[in-house]
Amino acid sequence: MRARAIDARRAAVLGKPIAHSLSPVLHRTAYEELGLVNWSYDRFEIDEAALSGFLAELGAEWAGLSLTMPLKRAVIPLLDEISETAASVEAVNTVVFTEDGRRVGDNTDIPGMVAALRERGIEQVDSAAILGAGATASSALAALARICTGEVVAYVRSEARAAEMRQWGERLDVEVRTADWADADRALHAPLVIATTPAGTTDALASAVPERPATLFDVLYDPWPTALAARWSMYGGAVVSGLDLLVHQAVLQVEQMTGRVPAPLDAMRKAGERALAAR
């Protein structure tokens, strides 16, 4: 059995690239607010090939890891257990090391999305639209499985991506219809629009924002605001940002790794905003 280290605890975020990550800012702020003076949180640039060796070298002082791309699926075979949430999208962004040395994986992106929407008063919608079809889009579908009572339309660039989104819909028990990206401006009339595409992809849609938009969840946070989010706000629509998602999923990670509840959401968000403003 692995003994718990009592002097210091460690955690970190892994991925490649990783220099841009705000996770150290958020987690260190949480430790400070919670009085965890012997906790540290670092970042390591690790790819799939190096992941197994990195995990093998970790000692008993390690409490947990945050994972970003390209490690969210690569880590699964290296774990002892994953949560139902992580299994539902085959993606792990959180690893917690238990007292007996087991590696347990979870996905806090999905409940983080739900929490970020709930914070803005979005408890349930009768339909939604997703822009994009990558890994984040599958997490968005899993979040919508919890709050959307009707159809989700996914706007994608290829039939292969469309097929993937329909498969995820079947797996997550979400009614998914796919549409061509050329018609993506139609998405902007949905009660909830979740933009999951890389920076710049939705800029051309800004001019199509309706006069009375509902809610936009744009998963980007740097640069911010995106052209779409800026126009959405200008027209009075509600906007949930990628920083909101990042903070809410980090709150859940801190709580799992430290056992301290609740994590300091407001302080973590303010620290993230300061860090972004300084870039």
Active site residues: 72
Tokens 């640069």 sit on residue: 223
Residue 230 parent element (H or E)? helix 227-234
Helices 109-119, 135-147: inter-axial angle, 10-degree rounding: 50
Q: Which of 240, 238, 233, 231 is nearest to 206 (CA)?
A: 231
Order of strands, sheet of 62-67, starting from the edge strand that comes earlier in the sequence: 39-45, 9-15, 62-67, 94-97, 103-106, 81-82
Contact 272, 22 (CB under 8 A): yes
Q: Token pair of 104, please?
A: 């347990």
Please give the C-alpha separations between residue 117 and each of 80, 111, 113, 163, in angstroms, as whole numbers: 31, 10, 6, 27
The pair phi, psi for residue 142, each rounded to 5°, is: -65, -35
Contact 118, 144 (CB under 8 A): no
Range list of β-strands (E), 219-262: 238-240
Distance CA 29, CA 37 (A): 11
